[in-house]
Amino acid sequence: MEIASVRSEKKMNKFKDPEFMSSFIDKYREMRNLWEVKHNLYYNKQVKKAMLEKLLGFVKTRIPEADMKFLKTKIGILRNMYRKEHNKI
């Protein structure tokens, strides 16, 4: 159990690197159909999955052991952080 938490912590540290985080957010922002509800491809599951696979490929350049669950978790965290900050204003 302890080994899994160490691995997870290493993944988190790589993901939290400011340079990587900035480029990840830029890539995510370019893929409008993943976050813009009014985008005509937002509800198209095949296109959404293909875009997530592309984004996962980018993440794997930095974190080779990343998988789709890891990516979706990180996107969810980023969206929640954005929403909380946006609601403060």
pLDDT, tens digit (0-9, with 9 covering 90-100), for 42-62: 999 999 999 999 999 999 999
Domain extent for 58: 2-88
pLDDT at 6: 47
Given a cut of 60, is residue 9 above it in pLDDT?
A: no
**Is residue 48 within 8 Å of residue 63, measured between CB atoms?**
no
In the chain, the amino acid numbered 3 is I
Give this prediction's pTM.
0.77
Count how many domains the chain has: 1
pLDDT at 16: 81
pLDDT, tens digit (0-9, with 9 covering 90-100), for 10-35: 555 678 888 999 999 999 999 999 99
pLDDT at 40: 94
Alpha-carbon gap, residue 58 to 86, rounded angstroms: 27
Alpha-carbon gap, residue 8 to 76, rounded angstroms: 17
